[in-house]
Structure 1
Amino acid sequence: MVRLAYRLLQRKVPEYWKRHLDRAMNLSAKPARYVPLRGWVGEDKRLNWMYTQDKPSTMENQIENRKTHHEVELIEPIEEWTIQRGDRVEILVGRDKGKHGIVRDIVYQRNWVFVEDLNLQYTFRKEIGQLIAQEMPLDVSSEVALVDPRTGKAATKAEWRYTETGKKIRVLFPSGVILTPEKMFEELADGVCPQTYIANPQTDTTEKQLERTTYEANLKTFEEDVMDNMDIVETRTRGKTYWY
């Protein structure tokens, strides 16, 4: 059933998840209130949404945004990201400077990347009596750089180029190496990764069931269609109907 819903949303309503996230993010707005002699007054100004490592569709992110008012953080957007999930990068700042790691997650709204098991922050939790390690964000423009597979060092520059066949590729400079990650994870708007999704034969709809025709259009009325499905034979003739 999950797979069927995914297929329908992908084909029929491609912007469903975007609208769903927009509605979830608008929950941080102050609700309308009733004012005597004026009626219901709505609040047009809403709280600024704070993007974190958690997706906006998760309950953790929504709870975090309902706590307090967040100040506006001015961020210069990046038009074309040369760093993607699954890339090997080198950290340029901090205690892990010079170490290589794999990009685990990206927050495009804040120019953040998270590298697996690097740039960790440890916090002690009294309720469980343990130190919890959490990966902290790194600025993609100044704190990380792609690793050149030929030299094993950080590349000075990366650009998008086009081949003779029109394929879009990434080129590292100064070596000119074409970067092709071993495995790219394409995450959809709802957080589902098609490459790592494992179908469940007990709950998911198969491809054969999706292609099966379950309804054929005809010119019969609703009553006639029900009678045919229930093998009811009607020998009487319907009277003529006149419209004036």
Structure 2
Amino acid sequence: MKITLTQLTRIGKWSKQYANLPDRYINRAMEQVYWKNPKGPQYKPNAVIKRKEFYFGVHRPWTMEFKNENQPNTRRPKVFVEPILEWSYFRGDRVEILVGKDKGKQGIVKQIFEERNWILVDGLNCKLKNLGKDTKKDFDGVYIQEEQPLLVTTDVALVDPSDFQATEFEWRFTEEGNKVRVSLRTGRIIPIPGSVEETIDYKSKGTYKEQPKDTKADVVSEVTFQPKLCTFEMDIMEDMGIKEDRVPVKSYWY
């Protein structure tokens, strides 16, 4: 299912699941302030002009490569993307490439970019990139292969693990109520790979070991707030044993 075209200007879930970083850090890392008013009582507080539109490529918003692509006062053509309402490709999936020089080859999804409908396939759809070229020192640099993004809507197809053939698929529910991907050609379930849980900190949530600076899991899950129908002041008075004995002055509203 898809919705209408929209301009890509948000961060959303820009492949940050693997990095395991909070939103506030990402927003602070990519922030560009063009103007901020001086401090003082004669100035309007919090008056600031920030950059609103960014170019999003394959580099994550908190990296130096992203800053180089979005240097201050630079503008790029608008990118229009048709968002996929229900994302169906995950890290670790086996896909078959349908276009380009690697057409017909199969590979493993290395990285996803949901906001651009992109994936990177490990070792396929590559181009040569020159690093370290220096004409002054007569150094030609080093060439490396770099994977290029592929559109999941037209450039790749999911592979059925039962016969390793490309297939169309759809989401269905099992008798137990679990949502799964089912091959339309064979009717078999295409399981979601276990590498979906993998982040920069752990291979899976179950194998993660708490570090000394981590907040303990039992502390995080503990409920410490009990909602009440009272104000903050009334809550403090109740905890301190203060009873309200003042008689409020009559007031009239018209």
Instruction: Sort the TM-score into its range (normalised by shorter chain).
Output: 0.5 to 0.7
What does residue range 160-239 of structure 1 map to in structure 2 within 5 Å? 160-186=171-197, 192-195=201-204, 204-205=211-212, 210=216
CA distance, structure 2, for counterparts of residue 165 and residue 212 of structure 1? 30
Query: What CA deviation, in whole Å up to 9, does each residue of 1:41-92 have, x standing for no partner?
Result: 7436x25222222221223323322252222201011111111110000000
TM-superposed CA distance for 1:163, in Å, is 1.1
Compared CA separation, residues 58 and 198, structure 1 to 2 (3 A):
farther
CA distance, structure 2, for counterparts of residue 81 and residue 211 of structure 1? 30
CA distance, structure 2, for counterparts of residue 200 and residue 163 of structure 1? 33
- Which consecutive residues of structure 1, in runs of 5 or more, have no partner in the other structure? 1-15, 214-244
TM-superposed CA distance for 1:30, in Å, is 2.1
Rg comparison, structure with higher value = 1
Give the counterpart of 2:86 among 76, 80, 84.
80
Aligned residue number for residue 34 of structure 2: 30
TM-superposed CA distance for 1:110, in Å, is 0.8
TM-superposed CA distance for 1:152, in Å, is 2.2
The structure with more helix, counted as a fraction of residues? 1
TM-superposed CA distance for 1:19, in Å, is 2.5
CA distance, structure 2, for counterparts of residue 78 and residue 138 of structure 1? 15
Compared CA separation, residues 94 and 29, structure 1 to 2 (3 A):
farther
Aligned residue number for residue 144 of structure 1: 156
Compared CA separation, residues 187 and 57, structure 1 to 2 (3 A):
farther
Residue type at the aligned position of 1:186: E
- Which consecutive residues of structure 2, in runs of 5 or more, have no partner in the other structure? 1-20, 220-254
Aligned residue number for residue 227 of structure 1: none
Aligned residue number for residue 61 of structure 1: 66
Contact 1:147 1:154 in 2 (8 A): yes
Compared CA separation, residues 54 and 197, structure 1 to 2 (3 A):
farther
SS of corresponding position for 1:184 = helix
Residue type at the aligned position of 1:28: Q
CA distance, structure 2, for counterparts of residue 196 and residue 212 of structure 1? 15
Aligned residue number for residue 118 of structure 1: 124
Query: Quick one: percent identity of the two aligned structures?
Result: 36
TM-superposed CA distance for 1:144, in Å, is 0.5
Contact 1:53 1:107 in 2 (8 A): yes
